[in-house]
Amino acid sequence: MINILYIETGMGRGGSALSLKYLLDALDRTKYRPILVFTHPDADLYGFDWRDVEILRTPDGPTFMSIFTNVFRLARIINEKKIDLIHLNNDIDSQNAGIFAAKITNKPFVCHLRSMRSLTRKEKFLAKLIYHFIAISEAGRDFYIKEGLPPHKITVSYDPFDVNVTATRAIAPAMNLSGKKVGICSRLTRGKGHEYFIKAAAEVVKQEPEVHFFIVGEEAAESPGYQAELQRQVVDEGLGDHVSFLGWQKDIMAVISNLDLVVDASYLPEGLRRTIIEAMIAFKPIIATDVGPVRELIERSQSGFVIPYRDSAVMAQQIVALLKDPGRIKLMGENGRKYAVEKFDMFKKAKEIEALYDSILKNHDH
């Protein structure tokens, strides 16, 4: 049995944790034994069903001494659990303790590259210590090669999704409305573009007054007051009867399945945006801003429109164009579904990661 330690530094309810959940669900448990460590002090350890995965917590902190302490906590876990390989599930900057724990225990390890932003001087130093990287798109791989990471140390593997998932919960009561429905599904973080989504909504209802807009997601800790700002904007735009805030939804597929189309308005240097793939799985067309690998995904799948970021006028135009063309909505939804099944099935993705693990362990042993 190969023991693998997964280190998750996020809050336990975001995209990185959900991607990890699907990977572990599909992992060959007759060969690999996963152990999961959360390092964020406020992480929700059971936000998702981890299905018999051993879960530990080693609260990290912002100071040098707290990071130093956590290195040795992780090293102790690595030794006690007889870990063979370590998988750092988040970007380099949040994985200081995991990187040094792997080095002092002489264990091979991989690190995900989830965003697409320039590396800091510290990250470039840490990157030299990392055994191998997993980029979640071709665009991400190409970006980090330009940042100086060696091409032979980067493997591309799209995040895994349950492409056969079905909605398991009743939709929020606010969605029990007639008329067409458009949604944006992401945490309320500055940079995700919700303010442009609201501006676009104001333009759309002038032409399509029966359309309702849904903002799905909870306010992020790093963006205090952002939800209140958005709610004031809704009032100022006269959209009180057209926009609903649904908060965090555990069964996001139940929400997406009840929309006519999905919008992703982010202008952050992000990697793979899960909402785009979830929309594809649910047969929904996507309007998404041209950031990170969006063009790679949408143009190849022919599942929606790529628009400039921070451009509410173009966003509104494309929303109206799609809502007036149900045939195109159906075709784009079918295209996206086909692409998602081919490229993002969690069992296919798990086989890719298992092959990477085996290659790393074989090379490390020699």
Q: Is there a contact between 78 and 5 (Cβ–Cβ < 8 Å)?
A: yes
Residue (of 275, 161, 269) closest to 215 by Cα position? 275
DSSP state of 362: H
Q: Is residue 168 part of a domain?
A: no
pLDDT at 240: 95
Instruction: Return d(Cα 317, Cα 133) in angstroms, integer.
Output: 39
User: Is residue 51 scored above 60 in pLDDT?
Assistant: yes
User: Is residue 169 scored above 80 in pLDDT?
Assistant: no
DSSP state of 94: G
Amino acid at 288: A
Q: Are 230 and 127 in a shared domain?
A: no
Q: Are 91 and 106 in a shared domain?
A: yes
User: Is residue 162 scored above 90 in pLDDT?
Assistant: yes
pLDDT at 338: 97
pLDDT at 168: 56
Q: Are 298 and 251 in a shared domain?
A: yes
Q: Is residue 42 part of a domain?
A: yes
With b for 16 or more beta-carbon neighbours within 10 A and e for fewer, the 130-148 pattern comes to bbbbbbbbebbbbbbeeee
Please state the separation of Cα 225 from the chain's center in Å. 23
Q: Is residue 120 part of a domain?
A: yes
Q: Is residue 166 part of a domain?
A: no
Q: Are 193 and 340 in a shared domain?
A: yes
Q: Are 331 and 353 in a shared domain?
A: no
Q: Is residue 167 part of a domain?
A: no
- How would residue 175 be classed by pLDDT, with cut points 50, 70 and 90? confident
Q: Are 184 and 277 in a shared domain?
A: yes
pLDDT at 41: 83
Q: Lowest mean pLDDT of 42-46, 156-160, 205-209, 215-219, name the range.
A: 42-46
Q: Give residue 125's domain range.
A: 2-160+345-365
Residue 248 CB contacts under 8 Å (≥ 6 apart), including other chains: 13, 216, 217, 218
Q: Is 322 exposed, middle or buried (0-12, 13-18, 19+ CB in 10 A)?
A: buried
Express each pLDDT in 191-224 by its tens digit.
Answer: 999 999 999 999 999 999 999 999 999 998 889 9
How many domains is the chain built from? 2
Q: Are 148 and 195 in a shared domain?
A: no
Q: Is residue 165 part of a domain?
A: no
Sign of dihedral through CA atoms 238, 239, 241, 247? negative
Q: Are 179 and 97 in a shared domain?
A: no
Q: Are 225 and 94 in a shared domain?
A: no
Q: Is residue 212 part of a domain?
A: yes
Task: For the beta carbon of residue 59, count every other beta carbon within 10 angstroms.
Answer: 14
pLDDT at 288: 98
pLDDT at 40: 87
Instruction: Return d(Cα 97, Cα 134) in angstroms, integer.
Output: 19
Please state the separation of Cα 125 from the chain's center in Å. 26
Q: Is residue 257 part of a domain?
A: yes
Sign of dihedral through CA atoms 100, 102, 108, 111? negative
Angle at which helices 274-281 and 15-26 pack, to 10 degrees?
50
Q: Are 155 and 216 in a shared domain?
A: no
pLDDT at 48: 87
User: Is residue 39 scored above 80 in pLDDT?
Assistant: yes
| CATH number for the domain harbouring residue 355 | 3.40.50.2000
pLDDT at 270: 85
Distances from the Cα of 198 to the Cαs of 46, 225, 254, 343, 355, in angstroms? 33, 16, 22, 32, 44
- How would residue 82 be classed by pLDDT, with cut points 50, 70 and 90? very high
pLDDT at 170: 60
Q: What is the DSSP string of 100-135?
A: HHHHHHT--EEEEE-B--PPPHHHHHHHTT-SEEEE
Q: Are 56 and 113 in a shared domain?
A: yes
Mean of per-residue pLDDT scores for the chain = 93
Q: Are 238 and 358 in a shared domain?
A: no
- How would residue 63 be classed by pLDDT, with cut points 50, 70 and 90? low
